[in-house]
């Protein structure tokens, strides 16, 4: 085959003839004109076929094209400001590779369940395409950040004999008649590697049998876990926020088009591209949740939703009345607006159902309770950048967390919560480095000591203060893209009740 020309490099061919190979994203037909939106993986480009300029055979080929047919299109590359690629093609030749029959995902509205069943095809649509490109940018940014700072990337095993993050979410497998688990976190192995290399990070899949459906949980997700020797909690927090600011900055400067195509309001991201995020203690977080300000914020939220609802319903009624007499173009506009209104009404209904539950959870919070998803949502609504909450009750944290030397009830753990209601994207902290203390903790947590024998060796042979954290890739993508659910952040999501495709 001749070398491919890609849509994102059309500027090199301005004024010349080029051949694009791709798929028909959309097709409109006029009397003697056919407008194709061609996509080739790098972008989309309008291709115009004028009956007067092409042979009958070429016109025939173009006429037969359907959505998602594969095709090679040759024509002159013309600059065009209105086009998303900056160019359009005035077509001279059309070569059909395959005519696609009855592509299931049409431009009309589809339900999420249907789209999830067709995830293998859904990935081709504009929104999903933009999300995956941002995911890729985030992955690249993370590697760049750590590599530029002398961290060594290390792969932790997927089959393990240890529970890291509690025993309730373990996936058990049969490993040649021995029990093995799919890893929940590479951290313990990361600690071993940090003692060999100083600063390391893992970047791999992790697994948790999350038995409830939420917008933040997958059963298979990707985690990035840096681990550093001779780092305390504060150095750990500095690193976490520098990394996050670096990621956000990269996406803002390199994926502007994709963010725009997702209609992402980037106000909060603009604030997060610089580090210096607020840090509050867990105790302060509890005080905030129980405060008058929080109650007032919730009351105001409830009132504003209650006002918005009838306004939207009235607008909807007016649009529905207008629809009958409207011309075709206006009809499309009305349909779009009605769809948006319906989505918003559902959100309002959900908020109005949630607010009383959130209020109760927040106001009744006691020191020692874990922060739930809704508590995190409320806390982050009071800030416009990510925040870090540190110093959690030791009781609710993992066995490996070091305790605050000044207060044995407090663990030196930290979570980073993303703004705009997103909540936890990072969990980490300083690790217990004393062999004796760790032995006690393993006993307290009723963990099988034999499985941790190797881990305890790290405290016998040159133990040092060390820290690390885990960044959830999908939650980060979800926040940066402004999505409602993590299921769209990974090519093939694995969740409760979802193993296909
Ligand atoms: O807070 P977690 O459980 O921390 C750990 O696993 C530590 N061992 C990490 C470390 O210190 N090296 O998980 C870390 C992050 C969370 O903040 C969240 O972003 C993500 O992993 N995460 C999930 N993402 C999607 N689906 C799930 N079920 C997730 N569980 C955790
Ligand atoms: Mg956590």
427 lines ligand 1 (CB under 6 A): yes
Average pLDDT, the chain: 95
| Residue among 146, 162, 185 to mutate when testing ligand 1 (max atoms within 8 A of CB) | 185
Alpha helices by DSSP H, 364-452: 373-381, 435-444
Average of pLDDT values for 246-263?
A: 97
| Residue among 470, 480, 498 to mutate when testing ligand 1 (max atoms within 8 A of CB) | 470
Ligand nearest to the CA of 478: 1
DSSP classification of residue 223: E
Checking if the pLDDT of 2 tops 90, the result is no
Average of pLDDT values for 32-46?
A: 96
Q: Whose CA is nearest to atom 9 of ligand 1?
A: 470
Checking if the pLDDT of 353 tops 80, the result is yes
- Cα-Cα end-to-end distance for the chain: 32
Which pLDDT value is given to residue 101?
Answer: 97
Q: Whose CA is nearest to atom 7 of ligand 1?
A: 470
423 lines ligand 1 (CB under 6 A): no
Which pLDDT value is given to residue 107?
Answer: 81
Which pLDDT value is given to residue 56?
Answer: 97
Report the percentage of the chain scoring pLDDT > 90: 90
187 lines ligand 1 (CB under 6 A): yes
The ligand 1 atom at the shortest distance from the C-alpha of residue 426 is 17
469 lines ligand 1 (CB under 6 A): yes
492 Cα–ligand 2 center, Å: 23
Which pLDDT value is given to residue 225?
Answer: 98
127, containing H or E segment: helix 126-148
Report the percentage of the chain scoring pLDDT > 70: 100
103 Cα–ligand 1 center, Å: 38
The ligand 1 atom at the shortest distance from the C-alpha of residue 486 is 25
Confidence of residue 84 (pLDDT cuts 50, 70, 90): confident
Q: What are phi and psi of 83, to 5 degrees?
A: -80, 145
Structure tokens at 261: 């195509």
419 lines ligand 1 (CB under 6 A): no
Q: Are strands 44-50 and 87-98 parallel, antiparallel or unpaired?
A: parallel
223 Cα–ligand 1 center, Å: 7
3-state secondary structure 315-361: HHHHHHHHHCCCCHHHHHHHHHHHHHHHHHHHHHHHHHHHHHHHHHH
Which pLDDT value is given to residue 370?
Answer: 94
Question: What is the distance between the alpha carbons of residues 322 and 107, in angstroms, rounded to a whole number?
Answer: 23
Per-position b or e across 53-73, b if 16+ CB within 10 A of its CB: ebeeebbebbeebebbbebbb
Peptide bond into 501 cis (omega under 30): yes
Checking if the pLDDT of 77 tops 80, the result is yes
217 lines ligand 1 (CB under 6 A): yes
185 lines ligand 1 (CB under 6 A): yes
Ligand nearest to the CA of 208: 1
Ligand nearest to the CA of 469: 1
Q: Using one digit for the tens of pLDDT, what is the confidence trace for 58-76?
A: 999 999 999 999 999 999 9
Which pLDDT value is given to residue 166?
Answer: 78
Which pLDDT value is given to residue 161?
Answer: 87
Q: Using one digit for the tens of pLDDT, what is the confidence trace for 143-179?
A: 999 999 999 999 999 999 877 777 889 999 999 999 9
Q: Using one digit for the tens of pLDDT, what is the confidence trace for 219-245?
A: 999 999 999 999 999 999 999 999 999
Checking if the pLDDT of 332 tops 90, the result is no
Checking if the pLDDT of 218 tops 90, the result is yes
Q: Using one digit for the tens of pLDDT, what is the confidence trace for 439-491?
A: 999 999 988 899 899 999 999 999 999 999 999 999 999 999 999 999 999 99
């Amino acid at each position: 085959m001749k070398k491919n020309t890609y849509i994102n490099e059309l500027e090199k061919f301005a004024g010349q003839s080029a051949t694009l190979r791709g798929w028909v994203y959309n097709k409109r037909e006029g009397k003697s004109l056919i407008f194709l939106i061609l996509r080739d993986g790098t972008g989309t480009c309008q291709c115009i076929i004028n009956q007067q300029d092409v042979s009958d055979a070429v016109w025939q080929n173009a006429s037969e094209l359907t959505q998602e047919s594969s095709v090679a299109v040759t024509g002159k590359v013309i600059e065009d400001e209105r086009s998303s690629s900056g160019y359009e093609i005035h077509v001279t030749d059309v070569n059909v590779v395959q005519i696609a029959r009855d592509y299931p995902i049409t431009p009309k509205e589809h339900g999420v369940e249907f789209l999830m069943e067709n995830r293998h095809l859904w990935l081709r649509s504009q929104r999903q395409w933009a999300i995956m490109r941002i995911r890729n940018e985030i992955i690249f940014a993370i590697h760049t950040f750590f590599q530029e700072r002398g961290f060594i990337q290390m792969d932790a095993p997927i089959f393990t004999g240890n529970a890291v993050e509690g025993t309730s979410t373990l996936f058990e497998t049969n490993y040649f008649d021995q029990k093995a688990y799919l890893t929940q976190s590479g951290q313990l192995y990361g600690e071993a590697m940090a003692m060999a290399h100083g600063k390391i990070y893992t970047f791999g899949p992790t697994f948790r049998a999350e038995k409830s459906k939420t917008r933040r949980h997958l059963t298979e997700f990707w985690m990035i876990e840096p681990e550093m020797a001779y780092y305390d909690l504060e150095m750990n927090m500095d690193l976490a926020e520098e990394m996050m600011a670096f990621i956000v900055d990269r996406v803002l400067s390199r994926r502007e088009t994709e963010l725009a195509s997702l209609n992402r309001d980037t106000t909060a991201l603009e604030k997060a591209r610089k580090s210096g995020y607020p840090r509050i203690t867990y105790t302060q977080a509890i005080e905030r949740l129980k405060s008058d300000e929080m109650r007032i914020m919730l009351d105001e939220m409830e009132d504003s939703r209650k006002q918005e609802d009838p306004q939207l319903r009235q607008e909807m009624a007016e649009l529905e009345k207008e629809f009958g007499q409207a011309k075709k173009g206006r009809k499309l506009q009305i349909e779009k607006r009605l769809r948006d209104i319906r989505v918003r009404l559902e959100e309002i209904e959900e908020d109005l159902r949630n607010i009383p539950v959130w209020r109760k959870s927040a106001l009744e919070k006691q020191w020692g309770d874990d922060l739930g998803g809704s508590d995190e949502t409320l806390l982050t609504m009071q800030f416009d950048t990510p925040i870090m909450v540190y110093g959690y009750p030791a009781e609710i944290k993992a066995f490996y967390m070091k305790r605050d030397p000044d207060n044995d009830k407090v663990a030196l753990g930290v979570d980073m919560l993303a703004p705009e209601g997103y909540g936890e994207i990072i969990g980490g902290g300083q690790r217990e480095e004393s062999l004796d203390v760790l032995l006690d903790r393993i006993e307290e947590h009723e963990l099988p000591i034999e499985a941790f024998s190797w881990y305890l060796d790290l405290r016998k042979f040159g133990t040092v203060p060390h820290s690390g954290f885990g960044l959830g890739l999908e939650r980060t993508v979800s926040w940066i893209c402004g999505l409602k659910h993590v299921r769209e952040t990974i090519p093939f999501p694995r969740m409760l009740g979802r193993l296909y495709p």
